[in-house]
């Protein structure tokens, strides 16, 4: 049960206007297989949450706080469909209502004694929520994740000390391949950026970009090609504010899809739901494929975590932009049109 419009979280790190815009969007807080038989504590937009499943597999997302004496429910436990507070044993049902006060067993708990709960949707192997209910917020259209020809794989979501805008923009940036990713696919012999276009659409942006990637021996298991280089056709579909699907097309219906969703823990902390799906070479082990993606993320991490300012400047005069930075400038403009702050945002 969602109560009155939520207040800003205590010690909120966002500008109030930015928090209100972002709180209306759907963000993942966990992979489906992370929430199985016990509650999971997560933070989104500075709001501490608890997520769990009922006995009929319903997903419940609530503020991680017993309002009786302010104790986090993550310190308690789950019994059947109910959460039990560790401090005084108050029990809460899936609708957020208190069902029992053990110290007063004959008391019918007052209606006001309830948790703040939030909408939840389980889709694409993820559990999504929004902190302000908003029927206008849409999900990305990722058909590969509902296609049995594709195998989806993921690892535990890493947390970076950066803003989600910085992390997602780095994922979109084509200029850094030949410099940051020389240990994986970056081709230092081909740093030139081919001309490309950025198209606006209802959900965000669409970009197509060719890249002649280096192809060292250890990567040939992943991309399935022999030789020193391999031609990639890279198709990005950005779903605002902080999600993107990248389809790496190797031809002959060989598609390696990479999904990146930057879920804001706080203004300068991000949980990254980074996962893949591919429709070929299913004999390659999941561990091998995911370790490859981990290496790529590890190359990006120290760069993104050290960018200054930590927030992504939406005022384009704050940083210098060239023709090859079209994706970044269009992305920043699109975030601004959502209503996020022009100076800095998450």
Q: For the residues 324-338, what does the mean pLDDT come to?
A: 96
Residue 28 pLDDT exceeds 50: yes
Query: What is the pLDDT at residue 222?
Result: 63
Q: pLDDT tens for residues 147-187?
A: 999 999 999 999 999 999 999 999 999 999 999 999 999 99
Helix (H, G, I), strand (E, B) or coil at 291: helix
pLDDT band at 223 (very low <50, low <70, confident <90, very high): low
Superfamily per CATH, domain 28-129: Rieske [2Fe-2S] iron-sulphur domain (2.102.10.10)
Confidence band for 4, pLDDT divided at 50, 70 and 90: very low
Provide DSSP, 59-127.
Answer: EEEEES-BTTTTB-GGGSEEETTEEE-TTT--EE-TTSBEEE-TTSTT----TT-B--EE-EEEETTEE
pLDDT computed for residue 343 by the predictor: 73
Mean pLDDT of the chain: 93
Region of residue 254 (phi > 0: left; psi between -120 and 50: alpha; otherwise: beta): beta
Tell me, yes or no, if the two domains 28-129 and 143-345 fold the same way: no
Section 300-305 average pLDDT: 98
Q: What is the pLDDT of residues 230-251, one digit of tens each?
A: 899 999 999 999 999 999 999 8
Task: Tell me the pLDDT tens digit for each residue of 176-200.
Answer: 999 999 999 999 998 999 999 999 9
Residue 1: pLDDT over 70: no
Domain ranges of the chain: 28-129, 143-345
Q: Is the pLDDT of residue 5 over 80?
A: no
Stretch 99-109: mean pLDDT, rounded? Answer: 95
Q: What percent of the chain has pLDDT over 90?
A: 87
pLDDT tens by residue, 257-277: 999 999 999 999 999 999 999
pLDDT digits (tens, 9 = 90+) for 41-94: 999 999 999 999 998 889 999 999 999 999 999 999 999 999 999 999 999 999
pLDDT of 305 reads 98
- Reported confidence tier of residue 346, pLDDT bands at 50, 70, 90: low
Write a three-state SS string for 112-163: CCECCEECEEEECCEEEECCCCCCCCCCCCCHHHHCCCCEEEECCCCEECCC
Residue 130 contacts residue 25 (beta carbons within 8 Å): yes
Whether pLDDT at 220 is above 60: no
For domain 143-345, which CATH number applies: 1.10.260.40, 3.40.50.620, 3.90.380.10, 3.90.1150.10? 3.90.380.10
Answer yes or no: is pLDDT of 227 > 90: no
At 117, the pLDDT band (50, 70, 90 cuts) reads very high
Mean pLDDT computed over 305-312: 96
pLDDT band at 228 (very low <50, low <70, confident <90, very high): confident
CA torsion through residues 182, 185, 188, 194, sign = negative
pLDDT at 226: 64
Q: Is the pLDDT of residue 113 over 60?
A: yes
């Amino acid at each position: 049960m969602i109560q009155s419009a939520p207040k800003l979280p205590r010690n909120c790190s966002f500008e109030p206007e930015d928090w209100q815009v972002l709180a209306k969007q759907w963000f993942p807080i966990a992979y489906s297989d992370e929430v199985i038989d016990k509650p999971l504590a997560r933070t989104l937009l500075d709001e501490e949450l608890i997520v769990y499943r009922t006995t009929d597999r319903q997903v419940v997302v609530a503020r991680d706080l017993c309002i009786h004496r302010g104790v986090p429910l993550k310190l308690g436990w789950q019994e059947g469909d109910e959460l039990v507070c560790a401090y005084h044993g108050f029990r809460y049902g899936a609708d957020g209502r208190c069902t029992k006060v053990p110290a007063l067993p004959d008391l019918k708990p007052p209606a006001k004694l309830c948790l703040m709960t939030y909408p939840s949707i389980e889709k694409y192997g993820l559990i999504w929520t929004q902190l302000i209910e908003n029927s206008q917020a849409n999900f990305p259209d990722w058909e590969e994740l509902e296609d049995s020809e594709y195998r989806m794989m993921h690892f535990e979501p890493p947390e970076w000390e950066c803003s989600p805008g910085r992390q997602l923009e780095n994922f979109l940036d084509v200029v850094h391949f030949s410099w940051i990713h020389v240990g994986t696919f970056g081709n230092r012999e081909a740093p030139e950026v081919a001309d490309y276009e950025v198209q606006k659409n209802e959900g965000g942006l669409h970009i197509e970009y060719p890249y002649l990637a280096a192809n060292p021996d250890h990567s040939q298991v992943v991309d399935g090609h022999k030789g020193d280089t391999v031609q990639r056709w890279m198709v990005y579909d950005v779903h605002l504010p902080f999600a993107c699907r990248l389809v790496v097309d190797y031809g002959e219906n060989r598609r390696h899809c990479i999904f990146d969703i930057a879920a804001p823990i706080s203004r300068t902390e991000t949980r990254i739901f980074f996962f893949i799906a591919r429709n070929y070479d299913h004999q390659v082990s999941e561990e091998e494929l995911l370790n490859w993606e981990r290496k790529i993320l590890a190359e990006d991490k120290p760069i993104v975590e050290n960018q200054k300012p930590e927030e992504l400047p939406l005022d384009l005069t704050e940083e210098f932009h060239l023709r090859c930075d079209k994706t970044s400038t269009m992305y920043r403009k699109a975030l601004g049109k959502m209503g996020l702050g022009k100076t800095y945002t998450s």
